[in-house]
Amino acid sequence: MTSLPPDLDPQKIPQHVAVIMDGNGRWATSRGLPRIAGHRQGARTLKELLRCCKNWGIKALTAYAFSTENWQRPIEEVDFLMLLFERMLRRELAQMHQEGVRISLIGDLSALPSSLQTEMEHSMTETLNNQAIHFTVAVNYGSRKEITTACRQIAQLVQQGKLSPEAINESLVEKHLYTADTPAPDLMIRTSAEMRLSNFLLWQMAYTEMYFTDILWPDFDADAFHQALLSYQKRDRRFGQVKTFFSA
Ligand code: FPP
């Protein structure tokens, strides 16, 4: 689908969508395939979703690709995922750059294979000034670790006398998160009938609308995304406030 479906209101399109891509393993197993086949298909799904977001006027997409807990998976699966990330970046970079995609990788990237780190650095530098859509992939990401790291950085500034404790506020904390230059997600989608956040963007999603679907990630196509956006557009976002019907 290239243009926005007519039943969606262009004025109420989320600016930033976050996705927890769950169900790759089950998708593959149910077809008698190895789990890695699910990840491979999942990567294609993500590519399609990115294109869909761009065509429908969404300005940012953030995908949870590998958590700090995912290292506990079988070594073959971890190795495959690392290779998949690297291959995707290498193969898709030119096209994404041409389409105006800005790529960011967030997480503790220092623990990743060095060839992958090189590819990540290159993709981020190359696409830094692109404006069409901001595509962020979380790899070796954990929200608690991100917040803890931010606290440590802020504490060091205080210890060095560069910051007073009174100057610590929410906006300062935000500046120390991996997502410093990205507005919070408006909509978070998790596939495969799991209903939890799994340590993903805990600070950033304080007021994000949540959408859960039974669909397994590799099957999450434009129609499924359309349904998620229809649900989002029915929500009444109050950000903790009371809706005012009359103005004074
Ligand atoms: C969760 O499904 C999926 C992952 C941990 C990996 C997600 C990675 C991709 C979709 C590839 C993305 C590619 C790039 C280049 C960013 P699961 O394996 O936990 O599925 P299960 O719950 O059915 O076992």
What pLDDT is attached to residue 1?
64
Pocket test for ligand 1, best of 20, 24, 26 (most atoms within 8 A of CB): 24
Q: Are 197 and 220 in contact (CB under 8 A)?
A: no
HSE-up of 198 (CA within 13 Å, CB side)?
22
How do residues 221-236 score in pLDDT, each as one tens digit?
Answer: 999 999 999 999 999 8
Please name which of 60, 62, 70 lies closest in space to residue 39, comparing C-alpha atoms. 70
Q: Which residues make beta-bridge pairs with 141?
A: 67
Judge whether residue 245 has pLDDT over 90. no
CATH of the domain at 136: 3.40.1180.10
What pLDDT is attached to residue 2?
83
The band of 237, judged by pLDDT with boundaries at 50, 70 and 90, is confident
The verdict on the CB of residue 107 being under 6 Å from ligand 1 is: no
Q: Is 224 helix (H, G, I), strand (E, B) or coil?
A: helix
The reply to whether 92 falls in a domain is yes
Residue 114's domain spans which residues? Answer: 13-142+184-232
The reply to whether 176 falls in a domain is no
Judge whether residue 134 has pLDDT over 80. yes
The reply to whether 122 falls in a domain is yes
Judge whether residue 186 has pLDDT over 80. yes
List 7, 9, 22, 55, catalytic entry: 22
Q: Are 211 and 88 in contact (CB under 8 A)?
A: no
What pLDDT is attached to residue 242?
78
The reply to whether 95 falls in a domain is yes
The reply to whether 150 falls in a domain is no
Render 120-167 in DSSP notation, one character per residue. Answer: HHHHHHHHTT--SEEEEEEEEE-HHHHHHHHHHHHHHHHHTTSS-GGG
Residue written as tokens 């809706």? 243
Residue written as tokens 């670790």? 145
The verdict on the CB of residue 85 being under 6 Å from ligand 1 is: yes
The reply to whether 174 falls in a domain is no
Ligand 1 atom 15, closest CA: 85
The reply to whether 156 falls in a domain is no
- State the average pLDDT for the chain: 96
Distances 219 to 22, 50, 75, 196 between C-alpha atoms, Å = 11, 15, 26, 20
Atom of ligand 1 nearest to the CA of 45: 10
How do residues 139-181 score in pLDDT, each as one tens digit?
Answer: 999 999 999 999 999 999 999 999 999 999 999 999 999 999 7
Catalytic (active site) residue 186: no
The reply to whether 108 falls in a domain is yes
Q: Percent of the chain, pLDDT > 70?
A: 98
Judge whether residue 129 has pLDDT over 90. yes
How do residues 41-93 score in pLDDT, each as one tens digit?
Answer: 999 999 999 999 999 999 999 999 999 999 999 999 999 999 999 999 999 99
The amino acid present at 212, given as its one-letter code, is F
Alpha helical stretches, state H, the chain:
24-29, 35-55, 75-98, 114-127, 143-159, 170-175, 222-234
E strands present in 27-100: 60-67
Atom of ligand 1 nearest to the CA of 216: 23
Count of structural domains, the chain: 1
